Structure 1
Amino acid sequence: MQNVKIAGRTVPVIGIGTWHMGDRPAQRETEIAAIQAGIAAGARVIDTAEMYGSGRAENLVGEALQPYHREDLFLISKVLPENASRQRMAASLEASLQRLRTDYLDLYLYHWRGSVPLAETVAELQRLQQTGKIRAWGVSNFDIADLKELWQLPGGDQAAANEDLYHLGSRGLDYAVLPWQAEHDLPLIAYSPIAQGDSWGQHLATNATVKQIAVAHQATVYQVLLAWVIRQPQVLAIPQTSSVAHMEQNLAAGELRLSTQELAALDQQFPRPTQKERLDII
C-alpha cells in the first residue's frame, strides 16, 4: 500500500473513518469487527471525534482497539468549536481520552472554526502538545483563507494536517487549498472520499467512465474513487464503513494506481475547478 507522512509518522494512505458509528447498539459488534478488519488489512489511522454520536464513536473505537498495541496505531480525534478555548479544551481532551481508553492522541484536530479566537485555540493546542497528551495537532474544515490566517499566528505553522471533505464530485480543494498545502508541506486528510456511498448527488458510482475504469482494474467503483483521492502525495483518505467486506476493499484500494489516461478521462467527466469555490462541509 502507498504511504503518507503525517505528524512525523509514515502511515498507509487509507485509514478508517468512524462518523455515524456507535449510534446503533445492534450494530456494535459488526462495527467493531469492521474496524478490526481494517487494521488487519493494513490500516493504522483511525479517525474519530467527540462530536460523532456525542462520544459514542469514541467509545466504540476505544473498545475496538483494545487487542492492539497502542503505539502501532495512529489515533485522531477532534475538539468541537465550543470546547476549543483555554478554559474548556483540556477537559474536552481528557473526556475523549477516557472514552478512547488511551493516554494520548497522535493527532488532535480543531473540528471547525467557531467563536473562540483562532490564536487562543492554537495556543491551547500547543500547550496540550507539551503535556504529551497529544503528539501533534491540526485543523479541520479550513479553507484557504483560514490556512493563511493560521500560518500568520505564533506556532500556527506547526499544524500537522488539515482535514477537509474531498472526493471526485467535490473538487474545490484542487483550485487553491491543495496547492497551498503542498507548498507548505501540510498533509490533507480527506473525509467522505467516496461521497458517503454516493449520497452526494453526482452519481459517481454510476458514472460510465468510473465503471469502465473499475472493470479494467477488476476493482469496485468505490476503489476507483479512493484511488483518485490518493492519486497525489500527502493525501490520506479516511472512508467509513460498517461492513467487513467493504472495509477490506477500501484498504485494497491503496494498491490501485490509475493511469495518466484514466485520470484525464475522470478530469473530463468531473472537471478541475477554474475558480475559487465554496468549501464543501458536511
Structure 2
Amino acid sequence: MQTVTIAGNQVPAIGLGTWHMGDDPSLQTQEINAIHAGLAAGAEVIDTAEMYGSGRAETLVGKAIKDIPRDQLYLISKVLPTNASKQHMERSLDASLKRLGVDEVDLYLYHWRGTTPLAETIDELQRLTTVGKTKAWGISNFDVSDLEELWQLPNGPKAAANEDLFNLGSRGVEYSLLDWQAKHELPFIAYSPVGAPDQLNAHLDRNPNVLKVAQRHNASAYQILLAWVVSHQQVLAIPQSSNPDHAKENVLAGDIQLTADDLKLLDEAYPAPTEKLPLDVL
C-alpha cells in the first residue's frame, strides 16, 4: 500500500473522510461499522472537522475509536475561520478533543481563510502545537498565492500539510500547486477524491475509460479513481463512505498500481490542465 509522510509520520495514502457523517442517528451503527471496516482494511487517517454536522461527525468518530489504541490512528480535525483567532481557537480545539475523546489530534487544519489576520491564526496554531494539543498544524483550501503568503510568516514553513479538492475531474491543482508543494516538501491531502454530487464532473465512475481501466484491474470505478489520486507523490486521499464494504474497498485501492496505458486512458477522458485555474472548493 502506498504511503504519505506527514510531519514525520508515515501513513497509508488512503484514509477515511467523515463529511456528512453523524447527521442521521439511524445510521450511527452503520457509519461506525464503516469506520471500523476502513481501519481494519489498513487505514490509519481519519479526517474530520468541527464544521461537519456542527460537531456531530467528531462525536461519531469519538464513538468509533474509543476502543482503538491511539497509536493506531492519525486524527485530523479543522478549525472554522470564525474560530481561527487567538481568542477562540483553543476553545474550539478543546471542544473537538472532547468530542473525539482524545488528548490531542495529530494534525489541526485551518479549514479555509477568513477575516482573522493570517499571522494571528498561524501563530495560534503553532502555540497549540507547542502546548501539545495537536502534534502538527496545516491549512486547507489554500492555493499557491496563499501558500506563498504563508511562507513569508515566521511560523509559516512549519505547516505540515495542505488539504484541497482534487480528483480526476478536478485537476487544476496539477498545473502549479502540486509542484509548489513538492518543492517545499508540503504534503497534499485530497478531499472529494472520487468527485462530488454537486461538482461539474460528478459521475466520474460512469466514464467509459474509467470503467475500462477498472475492468483491467478487476476493481471498482471508485477504486480506480482513488488509485489515480494517490499515484501522485505525497498525496493522501480521504474518501468518505458510510457503507462498510465500500469503506474497505476504498482503502484497498491503495494497492492498485496503474500502468502507463491506464494513465493515458484516464488523461484522454479528463485532460490535465494547460493553464492556471481557480482553486476548486466545495
* Partner SS for 1:179: helix
Match of 1:44 in 2: 44
CA distance in 2, matches of 1:42, 1:204: 25
**Deviation, structure 1 residue 199:** 5.1
Counterpart of 1:62 in structure 2 is: 62
Secondary structure of the corresponding residue to residue 115 of structure 1: coil
Name the counterpart of 1:184.
184
Q: TM-score, normalising length from structure 2?
A: 0.98
Aligned partner of residue 5 in structure 2, secondary structure: strand
Superposed CA deviations along residues 23-82 of structure 1, whole A, max 9, x for unmatched, are 000000000000011111100000000000000000000010011111221000000001
Distance 1:83 1:139 in 2: 14
Matching residue of 1:200: 199
Q: Which runs of 5+ in 1 are unaligned?
A: none
Q: Does 1:160 align with 2:160?
A: yes
Alignment-derived partner of residue 33 in structure 1: 33
Percent identical among aligned pairs is 59
How many equivalent residue pairs? 281
User: Which position in structure 2 is the counterpart of 1:140?
Assistant: 140
Which residue does the alignment assign to 1:232? 232
CA distance in 2, matches of 1:90, 1:159: 18
**Cα deviation code 1:188-209 (max 9, x no counterpart):** 000000013x653423111111
CA RMSD of aligned residues (A): 0.8
The AA in structure 1 aligned to 2:240 is: Q
Partner Cα distance (2:242, 2:42) in 1? 17
- Give the alignment of 1:210-221 within 5 angstroms: 210-221=210-221
Measure, in 1, the Cα distance between the counterparts of 2:150 and 2:263. 32
Report the more deviating stretch, 258-267 or 17-26: 258-267
| Structure 1 runs, 4 residues or longer, greater than 4 Å off | none
Structure 2: distance between partners of 1:56 and 1:158: 30
**1:261 maps to which residue?**
261
Cα deviation code 1:235-272 (max 9, x no counterpart)? 00000000001001001100001101111221122111
- Show the 5 A alignment for 1:122-137: 122-137=122-137
Distance in 1 between residues matched to 2:10 and 2:66, nearest whole Å:
22
Deviations 1:129-155 (A, max 9, x none): 010010000000001100111111111
Residues 52-131 of structure 1 aligned to structure 2 (within 5 Å): 52-131=52-131
C-alpha distance after superposition, 1:156-207 (max 9, x if no partner): 00000000000000000000110100111100000000013x6534231111
| Inter-partner Cα distance in structure 2 for 1:182 and 1:79 | 25
Matched residue of 1:71: which SS?
Answer: helix
Partner Cα distance (1:56, 1:132) in 2: 24
Letter of the structure 2 residue corresponding to residue 102 of structure 1: V
Q: Which residue of 2 aligns with 1:250?
A: 250
Find the counterpart in structure 2 of residue 150 from structure 1.
150
Specify the SS of the correspondent of 2:75. Answer: strand
Task: Describe the SS at the equivalent of 1:153.
Answer: coil
The code of the aligned residue for 2:195 comes to A
Letter in 1 for 2:264: A
